[in-house]
Structure 1
């Protein structure tokens, strides 16, 4: 009966009234639907974690050159993976390279990766032998006093650390190992005989004591794209705009050294006019020597063809000298493989 009455009521309205009634209903319901949809789909404001800026990290002592982990970019990912894998296999590794090449930052990334996986790591820097032993004991949580409250001697600390490394999975990382006392390095050599995993970092390490016992990784200069990216980041931190030509000029002074790349931007920021650079990246002039030898050989044939005896003799002697020097230089071992 109610449905019939509704039909009669609708039939009693003209089409225009029906259209107006429908539009009015839609306009009345639409705001509620829109508000309900907005309330259902709107997510609460996410919590934003404040991340220190590169400038804050630079002031805190973190080198702005090569990334360690996290939001930083790793430029030496292969070396990082190889070093971490070697340490996990109870191995030892030596990372060598010139000052500012990124050894300490790479070591920091290795330490962070190991600590994230739950390993115990002692990361120390050069000091007196007793201070370094105390620092290792502190980071390994080894007591430095006996039952009577007396401080342990250096020999007792060495035995306690050696025992801890034998009974636990722990790693020893030593920065600037070449600056350590020779006796301390000999103790490291003894630790290595018991397969204690360790990572050493050194600049031009001598091939003696511990340095000759463990394999080494030579940090090569970073590629040009990485150095330019480092300079662009450093320039952005200092709010200075550098043209591509200026970046190219500064890049020549860096020579593949990440620390020198950041320093070059600092010098440009301070308006310092620096001519030279401290890097050890040199250009290979072997092709130029070979071209000179070829030129002297051609000179010899020209003298032979023109009948100029002096030119013929000079070209032959010069060609022989250049060919001999090139053969001698070719047979010499690379500089990084020579015994110092």
Structure 2
């Protein structure tokens, strides 16, 4: 009889009343639970907050404590100040393997993208394996030849004690590379004299292993003869680690929001990342960076062309002649523009 009465009472209530009764019953049961079995739940904590780094400890002078790095979950992955870390391991392995196979390779990328850092890592890896490496930078042709001869331990004087001419140095270096396993690495090769690059091309014909690093190299002489690796922007985590390391070297604390703002200015460029920290350290107000990390808008243009095609069909179906004509002209322009951008070389699609 009581069950029947309960059903009648429930049937007489509207859905809103039922919902109110249900919420009230849940709250009453939760308050009646003993303290020993109450669920341990803190509404102020979330999984995101639990994984965040603890706030930096700031001393009386406003300098961040070095202990904040130890408290971070990724502290073991972030290099300590002054520590060398390579973020392009795949490029390092590929370059080293090519050189060991008596090959030549060109590493291209924008200024500050990490070409020199990668070259230093290649030199250290080859020297650790017991190979002879000559790592040079742009200078006059004679100075570069003398530097190569010095690092290869090639004599630069004849039997009479006179300095060898440039042509004799070239022949001596070429003969040394033919008789020994040695590697030639040239940084900023695009700044070298054209005649010197032609000599490198002649060396390459005799299978002399070499690594060239250049910023936007022209498609001429030696640069068109050897395969290239285009360095892409570093991922966001790598740029953040570089910034954290640079900030630690300067004993400054950067909040996550400040790091995010600086990352936008870096654009995946490690040198610009370190420079952004320096600018923050000096208190400079810089709005944008010098990077060339831009998005390809060709898909957006293609979508706009498709939208105008749809607009043309709508005008055809509704009998709107103006909409039909406008949609056709706009679709032709946008689709033609997207095709033009698609056929351009990749570097021409960048905004300079």
Indicate the TM-score class for this superposition, using the shorter chain for normalisation.
Answer: 0.7 to 0.9
5+ long unaligned stretches in structure 2: 30-37, 59-75
Deviations 1:63-112 (A, max 9, x none): xxxxxxx9633210011001111111111111111110111110000000
Return the offset for 1:163.
1.1
Match of 1:35, SS state, is coil
Deviations 1:110-129 (A, max 9, x none): 00011111111111111111
- Change in Cα spacing, 1:113 to 1:309, as seen in structure 2 (3 Å) is same
Q: Is the 8 A contact 1:94 1:211 kept in 2?
A: yes
If the length of structure 2 is used for normalisation, what is the TM-score? 0.73
Matched, 1:180 2:188: no
Count of residues in Structure 1 that have an aligned counterpart in Structure 2: 325
Q: Is the 8 A contact 1:296 1:315 kept in 2?
A: yes
1:114 counterpart (106, 121, 126): 126
Match of 1:31, SS state, is coil
Q: Is the 8 A contact 1:304 1:312 kept in 2?
A: yes
Q: Is the 8 A contact 1:121 1:173 kept in 2?
A: yes
- Change in Cα spacing, 1:314 to 1:139, as seen in structure 2 (3 Å) is same
Return the offset for 1:283.
1.3
Deviations 1:225-284 (A, max 9, x none): 211221122122222222222222211111111101111111111111112321111112
295-304 or 214-223, larger mean C-alpha shift: 295-304
Q: Is the 8 A contact 1:207 1:339 kept in 2?
A: no
- Change in Cα spacing, 1:13 to 1:230, as seen in structure 2 (3 Å) is closer
Deviations 1:127-180 (A, max 9, x none): 111111111111111111111111111111111111111111111111111111
- Change in Cα spacing, 1:134 to 1:35, as seen in structure 2 (3 Å) is same
Matched, 1:228 2:240: yes
270-279 or 121-130, larger mean C-alpha shift: 270-279
- Change in Cα spacing, 1:162 to 1:46, as seen in structure 2 (3 Å) is farther
Return the offset for 1:185.
0.9
Matched, 1:17 2:17: yes
Partner Cα separation in structure 1 for residue 338 and residue 46 of structure 2: 83
Q: Is the 8 A contact 2:79 2:85 kept in 1?
A: no
318-327 or 261-270, larger mean C-alpha shift: 318-327
Deviations 1:311-338 (A, max 9, x none): 2321222122212222333343423799
- Change in Cα spacing, 1:194 to 1:45, as seen in structure 2 (3 Å) is farther
2:266 counterpart (254, 269, 279): 254
- Change in Cα spacing, 1:31 to 1:214, as seen in structure 2 (3 Å) is closer
Match of 1:42, SS state, is coil
Q: Is the 8 A contact 2:56 2:253 kept in 1?
A: no
CA RMSD across the alignment: 17.8
39-48 or 228-237, larger mean C-alpha shift: 39-48
Partner Cα separation in structure 2 for residue 40 and residue 317 of structure 1: 56
- Change in Cα spacing, 1:217 to 1:339, as seen in structure 2 (3 Å) is farther
- Change in Cα spacing, 1:23 to 1:36, as seen in structure 2 (3 Å) is farther
If the length of structure 1 is used for normalisation, what is the TM-score? 0.75
- Change in Cα spacing, 1:109 to 1:2, as seen in structure 2 (3 Å) is farther
Match of 1:155, SS state, is helix
Partner Cα separation in structure 1 for residue 287 and residue 16 of structure 2: 89
Larger Rg: 1
Matched, 1:97 2:97: no
- Change in Cα spacing, 1:122 to 1:312, as seen in structure 2 (3 Å) is same
5+ long unaligned stretches in structure 1: 55-69
235-244 or 184-193, larger mean C-alpha shift: 235-244
Which residue matches 2:47?
A: 37
Q: Is the 8 A contact 2:298 2:341 kept in 1?
A: no
1:295 counterpart (298, 303, 307): 307
- Change in Cα spacing, 1:191 to 1:317, as seen in structure 2 (3 Å) is same
Deviations 1:173-224 (A, max 9, x none): 1111111111111111111111111111111111111111111111111112
